[in-house]
Amino acid sequence: MDYRKRILNLLEYKNHLKVINNKLYIDNISLETIAEKYGTPTFVYSEKRIRENYRKFYKAFRKRYKDVEIRYAMKANSNPYILKVLKEEGSGIDAVSVNEIKLAISIGFSTDKIIYTGVNRTKQELEYAIRQGVLINVDSLSELDKVIRICEKNKIKANISFRYNPEIDVKTHKHIATGLKESKFGLHENDAFIAYKKAKKCKYLNVIGIHMHIGSQITSPEPFEKASEKLLRFAGKIKNELGIKIKIIDFGGGLGIKYKAEQQSIDVDDLATVLIKKYHEAMEKYNLDECKILLEPGRYIVADSCVLLTRVTAVKHTPYKKFVGVDAGFNLLIRPVLYDAYHETVIVNEVFRNEYERYDIVGYLCESGDVLAKDRELPKVQEGDIIAFLDTGAYCSVMASNYNMRERALEVAVKDSSTIIIRRRESYDDLISVYKI
């Protein structure tokens, strides 16, 4: 698909982005103007889009089942400004580290709306979470033993659920498939049964839930349908054979978005229909009690709300390739090198031109792998052009590093036709402040 068709196709799905006078705008503010005001590289978020995505997701489930709550997967993007927006919308938090829990609490999330779904956690981390009263998704039998020891030693109670591994292949990238039989995450059925049986015997454990998370960037309801059938059947088994009444069923997250024009994207209404139908069938089939349903979207909420603005610093023609060099690298946008991920690219200051060429867009790092876009058709690029990488709101800023002693980027939110700095640009002093010199 050529550049013009790609861009026009994607913009149909992104109402916060539009082309006005051949320039790219976000929520009615020119991205070229933002780049000139703040410099590059800069992540730019649409607060409006974040709220729209959250409301669309929540309403899809809420209209089909009354007792449903969202726990935003904070690992997708933990910028405090975004967390405050989602708190206003009524979201809870899915945290994967103690520091995520601490940040969520500092922003005002109540601990009863925080789930701790980490892996390979230390005694200190688990004890902190237990004392805070958050719901802990236990990941293994050895971790369960650790929780029991903490509780018995300190005579404190813990709210727990277990992460169930449904052994489902979701046909996503191998690095983000988490429900496979060979995955490091969760308890397989036999071990999960042993875990619930053992937990029931400990007077300090309040066993209230069951959880799954099968992967990320899933673009079809079918894997969720298969996994939920196994999860709900197992929930019925532990009730009917162990007498444990599940109060919370957590279907996890992992919904994919449309990164490419030709890519399929999941319909959240279809997903809600499938999961709620499966739940109601399970109540009859497996004698389940009415439960609270939790969901943990991350990427779906924030990914397409953001663009990464970069400036072209070089245009290089070799006998074999044409390169566009920009003032960013995989230290800011690691997904292409880590996951072979695709991010659409747009010339912000002149979206369409009469001439087009194919380029590799490469970064400023001293690494051959620092390629942000391969063999990409673009308007004939000129030094000084501003290129926006779309859909960078999830797993970009939070995975950034200081490799090559590069500073992490400025972050800006657009709200009501104004811009707000929500993370300042790092400086040399920031980079050396942790060292003894």
**Would you name the residues annotated as active-site residues?**
366
Report the Cα–Cα distance between both ends of the chain, in Å, rounded.
Answer: 53
Cα 398 to Cα 38, 82, 409: the distances in Å are 20, 12, 11
Distance between CA 161 and CA 251 in Å, rounded? 12
Report which of 180, 137, 191, 131 is spatially closest to residue 157, judged by C-alpha positions.
Answer: 131
Report which of 376, 423, 433, 431 is spatially closest to residue 403, judged by C-alpha positions.
Answer: 431
Distance between CA 192 and CA 418 in Å, rounded? 50
Strands 205-211 and 248-250: parallel
For CA atoms 100, 101, 103, 108, the dihedral sign is positive
Distance between CA 74 and CA 116 in Å, rounded? 11
Distance between CA 388 and CA 392 in Å, rounded? 10
**Do 302 and 77 meet the contact criterion of CB atoms below 8 Å apart?**
yes
Which residue is listed with tokens 């590069």?
406
**Do 376 and 359 meet the contact criterion of CB atoms below 8 Å apart?**
yes
- Range list of H helices, 39-96: 47-62, 80-89
Structural Rg of the chain based on CA atoms: 23
**Do 232 and 282 meet the contact criterion of CB atoms below 8 Å apart?**
yes
- DSSP secondary structure string for all residues of 159-219: EEEEEB-------S-GGGB-SSTT-SSSB-HHHHHHHHHHHHT-TTEEEEEEE---BSSB-
